[in-house]
Structure 1
């Protein structure tokens, strides 16, 4: 069946207020490519270069007026690369090749929604030797200009994705400040950072650079509080966080170092305001990440859901435990952590009257 790529991309829902989604897709692909090597993440890297159009004067008064607008991004990683399986998957629209790790096979299509040109170069191992290939990805022709690339003895495994010629309205809506882009990347990839599933990630442009691992440690990790609870001898670990850039109070249930389910909890904890104001006057929201061997054993093969999720019959699970008891304990721990911010029901009534 022939795919109408132009029509497919035209129907992709990518609002102008989400201009960095294509970049996020490239970064997550890189994280997964590094994971696929099976190597220590600390020995691998992702480099994210911000390309700027120096021909245009910066007119954004909400950010540094000396910063030029963005024209593209270059993402380079030391991951597994575009071997035959990955290359064939890339050429297949809506591929299910990476569905087991949550991939839906459409992320790369957002690249062409927001950028005119995508160029890819990859050196990869085919078991016996290192090989290299380069190709272009365009809305008119899909994958084109496929060619083998010459490798030297110094060549190491790496893949570079160039997202070039940023289209309007996305380019106009994209933040220009490197620090703001860093915040957005950490926000989107937070589960990877929280669960220590990130290689070394560096964001840079012509004048500055930010190590995102250090950025996470300095701006988020120090706000993480670890706690545990136990049900019938089963241990659960919970990480409490107050985030500046979250949208709702949420709990994330994780298995095998990945987020599987998330649940809003605003209505589950008595007195929890919609937004929390800290002593410093910052407006934050509560987020929790919960891990357990129990979750690892009871996640489905695709890691997209848990077995009999939220079914209150404990006999359906391998261990004598119910989902309601798990959430009850999560809410108790969350209430303890948030105790200073919880508003009593009586106080709420008084405030409404006044």
Structure 2
């Protein structure tokens, strides 16, 4: 009695096959059928798949209840289970079909998914003598049973594999509709269907009473799917890869473009092409045929044949380049060169889609986001943007491109900096120059984008500032706290707020380059000073010296900023802004002021104080300024005064003047960027 030389139960336990992959067991049988036909050198090869259904309709289908599939038969007119094939079948992980990529484990998927298998095979024993071998294959201590060998007529050469009873683990995910199974067979064996020598494939759907309907898969593929095919190839690390392009008729407006990596003439992994080509978000129109199509791309190579797992569900290759030194080539490298090949193939058909998308992106950049203008020359990245995006989503994609270019530049620059040997080879010198120029272009583009981002930020801040100064619907004006928080957030200091979150440049660009700043924080360590002294903004500067300990810094100049509510026209005695500034200066000069960390604010004997009083110059303010002998500025839009006794220079700036001056200072930046201030 013949038997398999392996522990079948252990083999099945170690076989990894997900619940959604149960149909692969059928594909293993159909691929064996193709190989059997090839081995017989049969020019009229035929594979028939018969779905045998139960009597009762108990499974919910697309159009109501359908009868479940009880068994599946795969019949071929190939060479049959002769002695060589049968010996290979009995040996676990046989290398008999290694040249075709056979792993010697495919038949175990039958028992993983189905309860048992019946094999009936007629073969040539010797010239003029034919035999029929019948046996049962199951998961038991005696996996091969009920074996018989009988004489058989020659016209019946071939094999029938009966896969009986779908296991409960796979039954719920197993396809139930004839068309669905047919299309999955076509997709899995796409390499064979594209080949003109493909055997005839027929799938039969048979009910319990023997009534049936059938589909010819070759005709279905040729008439309902295929438009045409084309081919290309590329070489990686001296290993050849073949690329087949298959244009399939689009049955609707849903994109179904796919990239298949194949091993041993079988599809192993499937990727959506729109992941690499966002322009392919719908079927592509071919001007020559006048048809919309979906593109299937198949990649074959001996390298892929040798690096696939036993179940042929994934490749045993690193995903990313450089992830594993033991492999020459990663899947990422294979896909990248395949994508280049696809790009060249598709170019005539997707030019119109790409042009429409590029026009949309350029229009958005010119009208709304000029900071991204320098990125438009990086065509490879722009091509990956999906067409038809809204402004918000497009902005996000362009920001991602900027970051991607920055990462590429850093990686290239690190590679250039690692070159330590002299460059004597002219080719290497040219390559070095090219790489260096590429890095410079990327760094410049990212820098221009960052600068443009900041210029636009300034434009938006000035627009917001102008809005804050406007009268509200209720006829009142915003409190000074709104202006204060816009320029520098209240209750914060220079340690808690970074450069990008303060807008002191509206007052004076130099204020951004301070050593110490406190915003609406008490001058006194115990929080109590003259009238609760708390200047709106206090800024400290020091002279450049060899070394200054931060904890014992002595400031040579200080700036005090005091805000008043827009259009405020009433001030009590202790709210007079000039007097408030004088009080602050006195406390600092007397050594009674502390920074937010609780350290004393030490100033030099001749420390210069600059005081900005930001307010609307109302009648009340003008009256106060006259008492302190303030003079009008040359443009008569503000006032100034120098208190020689306290070494304080005062400048009173109206909100209108501060806004106008800042607009004028930044207008050249807006002009260069091509944006208008309004």
Q: TM-score, normalised by structure 2?
A: 0.41
Structure number with greater CO (CA < 8 Å, separation at least 6) is 1
- Give the equivalent residue in structure 2 for 1:212: 217
- Give the equivalent residue in structure 2 for 1:310: none
- Give the equivalent residue in structure 1 for 2:31: 28
- Give the equivalent residue in structure 1 for 2:345: 333
Name the SS for the 2:48 alignment partner.
strand
Render the CA deviation track for 1:320-339: whole Å, top value 9, x for unaligned.
xxxx9997555312333443
- Give the equivalent residue in structure 2 for 1:320: none
State how far apart, in whole Å, the 2-side matches of 1:94 and 1:26 are. Answer: 16
State how far apart, in whole Å, the 2-side matches of 1:207 and 1:165 are. Answer: 20
Equivalent positions of 1:176-255 (< 5 A) are 176-204=176-204, 205=206, 206-222=211-227, 224-226=228-230, 238-242=244-248, 249-250=258-259
- Give the equivalent residue in structure 2 for 1:145: 146
Task: From the superposition, tell whether residues 334 and 173 of structure 1 become closer, same or farther in structure 2 (CA, over 3 Å).
Answer: same
Render the CA deviation track for 1:121-160: whole Å, top value 9, x for unaligned.
11111341222211110100222222112324x6421111
- Give the equivalent residue in structure 2 for 1:286: 295
State how far apart, in whole Å, the 2-side matches of 1:286 and 1:98 are. Answer: 31
Number of matched pairs: 316
State how far apart, in whole Å, the 1-side matches of 2:156 and 2:63 are. Answer: 37
| Deviation (angstroms), 1:21 | 1.2
Render the CA deviation track for 1:31-79: whole Å, top value 9, x for unaligned.
1111111232xx121111101111x32331x423252000110111000
| Deviation (angstroms), 1:191 | 1.0
Give yes or no for contact 1:30–1:46 (8 Å, CA) kept in 2.
yes
State how far apart, in whole Å, the 1-side matches of 2:200 and 2:339 are. Answer: 34
Give yes or no for contact 1:63–1:176 (8 Å, CA) kept in 2.
no
- Give the equivalent residue in structure 2 for 1:68: 67
Match of 1:353 among 384, 392, 396: 392
State how far apart, in whole Å, the 2-side matches of 1:214 and 1:338 are. Answer: 29
Q: CA RMSD in A?
A: 4.0
| Deviation (angstroms), 1:274 | 8.0
State how far apart, in whole Å, the 1-side matches of 2:26 and 2:172 are. Answer: 15
Task: From the superposition, tell whether residues 268 and 179 of structure 1 become closer, same or farther in structure 2 (CA, over 3 Å).
Answer: closer
State how far apart, in whole Å, the 2-side matches of 1:122 and 1:278 are. Answer: 45
Give yes or no for contact 2:122–2:131 (8 Å, CA) kept in 1.
yes
Equivalent positions of 1:80-95 (< 5 A) are 80-95=79-94
Q: Which moved more, 1:94-103 or 1:143-152?
A: 143-152
Task: From the superposition, tell whether residues 101 and 266 of structure 1 become closer, same or farther in structure 2 (CA, over 3 Å).
Answer: same
State how far apart, in whole Å, the 1-side matches of 2:339 and 2:106 are. Answer: 32
Give yes or no for contact 2:134–2:148 (8 Å, CA) kept in 1.
yes
Task: From the superposition, tell whether residues 13 and 261 of structure 1 become closer, same or farther in structure 2 (CA, over 3 Å).
Answer: closer
State how far apart, in whole Å, the 2-side matches of 1:227 and 1:31 are. Answer: 23
| Deviation (angstroms), 1:237 | 8.1
- Give the equivalent residue in structure 2 for 1:308: none
State how far apart, in whole Å, the 1-side matches of 2:345 and 2:269 are. Answer: 17
| Deviation (angstroms), 1:93 | 1.0
Name the SS for the 1:80 alignment partner.
coil
Give yes or no for contact 2:284–2:350 (8 Å, CA) kept in 1.
no
- Aligned pair 1:44/2:45, yes or no? yes
State how far apart, in whole Å, the 2-side matches of 1:229 and 1:100 are. Answer: 22
Task: From the superposition, tell whether residues 134 and 170 of structure 1 become closer, same or farther in structure 2 (CA, over 3 Å).
Answer: same
Q: TM-score, normalised by structure 1?
A: 0.74
State how far apart, in whole Å, the 2-side matches of 1:266 and 1:14 are. Answer: 25
- Give the equivalent residue in structure 2 for 1:7: 10
Task: From the superposition, tell whether residues 338 and 143 of structure 1 become closer, same or farther in structure 2 (CA, over 3 Å).
Answer: farther
Give yes or no for contact 1:240–1:337 (8 Å, CA) kept in 2.
no
Task: From the superposition, tell whether residues 274 and 249 of structure 1 become closer, same or farther in structure 2 (CA, over 3 Å).
Answer: farther
Give yes or no for contact 1:276–1:285 (8 Å, CA) kept in 2.
no
Equivalent positions of 1:317-332 (< 5 A) are 328-332=340-344
Unaligned runs of 5+ in 2: 236-241, 286-291, 308-335, 363-384, 394-678
| Deviation (angstroms), 1:107 | 1.1
State how far apart, in whole Å, the 1-side matches of 2:26 and 2:183 are. Answer: 13
**Which protein is richer in helix relative to its size?**
2
Give yes or no for contact 2:36–2:79 (8 Å, CA) kept in 1.
yes
Unaligned runs of 5+ in 1: 306-323
Give yes or no for contact 1:70–1:171 (8 Å, CA) kept in 2.
no
Name the SS for the 1:104 alignment partner.
coil
State how far apart, in whole Å, the 2-side matches of 1:246 and 1:135 are. Answer: 46
- Give the equivalent residue in structure 2 for 1:98: 97
State how far apart, in whole Å, the 2-side matches of 1:2 and 1:50 are. Answer: 31
State how far apart, in whole Å, the 2-side matches of 1:243 and 1:105 are. Answer: 37
| Deviation (angstroms), 1:172 | 2.6
Task: From the superposition, tell whether residues 247 and 18 of structure 1 become closer, same or farther in structure 2 (CA, over 3 Å).
Answer: farther
Task: From the superposition, tell whether residues 330 and 13 of structure 1 become closer, same or farther in structure 2 (CA, over 3 Å).
Answer: same
State how far apart, in whole Å, the 2-side matches of 1:261 and 1:161 are. Answer: 23
| Deviation (angstroms), 1:279 | 7.4
Task: From the superposition, tell whether residues 116 and 243 of structure 1 become closer, same or farther in structure 2 (CA, over 3 Å).
Answer: farther
Render the CA deviation track for 1:192-235: whole Å, top value 9, x for unaligned.
1012342111111233111111111123213x35367999xxxx
